[in-house]
């Protein structure tokens, strides 16, 4: 593919991704653009990154995610890249929000239960 054409297509893809605000739309885009094996590969890379920042060993990651040491090492090298930092930051924010939503829901349920 011509380099200029590739650049324009990548720019278009980036804009499409930036315009997505719904999880269902993102899921649909990924499932339609990527093969199942490509989706697994991308998910594994994110899983490796999350595991590494949580302190998991290479052996734990290899066993749990069925990946090679080389794949874990490659992801390890990418942890300081802007895109990976962004992904990990968003994952941490989502985990924090989910944790607090669960706690708040539990507290509200307890309050509602005690009013009966």
For the chain, the domain total comes to: 2
Q: Specify whether 40 is located in the same domain as 21.
A: no
- Residue 103 confidence (pLDDT) above 80: no
Q: Specify whether 47 is located in the same domain as 8.
A: no
Q: Specify whether 44 is located in the same domain as 69.
A: yes
Asked if residue 75 lies in contact with residue 45, where contact means CB atoms within 8 angstroms, the answer is yes
Q: Which residue has the higher pLDDT, 110 or 59?
A: 59
Relative orientation angle of helices 58-65 and 36-53, to the nearest 10 degrees: 150
Q: Rounded to 5 degrees, what are φ and ψ at 57?
A: -80, 160
Can you tell me which residue has the tokens 């989502």? 94
- E strands, 1-116, in order: none
Encode pLDDT of 30-89 as tens digits: 999 999 999 999 999 999 999 999 999 999 999 999 999 999 999 999 999 999 999 999
Domain that holds residue 49: 34-114
Q: Specify whether 58 is located in the same domain as 88.
A: yes
Q: Specify whether 79 is located in the same domain as 110.
A: yes
Please list, residue by residue across 79-96, b when 16 or more beta carbons sit within 10 angstroms of its beta carbon and e when fewer do. Answer: eeeeebeebbeeeeeeee
């Amino acid at each position: 593919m011509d380099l200029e054409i590739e650049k324009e297509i990548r720019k278009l893809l980036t804009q499409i991704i930036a315009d997505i605000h719904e999880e269902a739309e993102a899921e649909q885009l990924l499932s339609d653009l990527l093969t199942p094996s490509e989706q697994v590969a991308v998910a594994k890379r994110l899983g490796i990154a999350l595991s590494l920042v949580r302190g998991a060993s290479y052996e734990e990651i290899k066993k749990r995610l069925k990946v090679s040491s080389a794949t874990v090492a490659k992801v390890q090298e990418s942890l300081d890249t802007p895109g990976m930092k962004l992904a990990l930051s968003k994952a941490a924010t989502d985990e924090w929000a989910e944790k607090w939503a669960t706690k708040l829901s539990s507290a509200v349920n307890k309050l509602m239960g005690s009013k009966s």
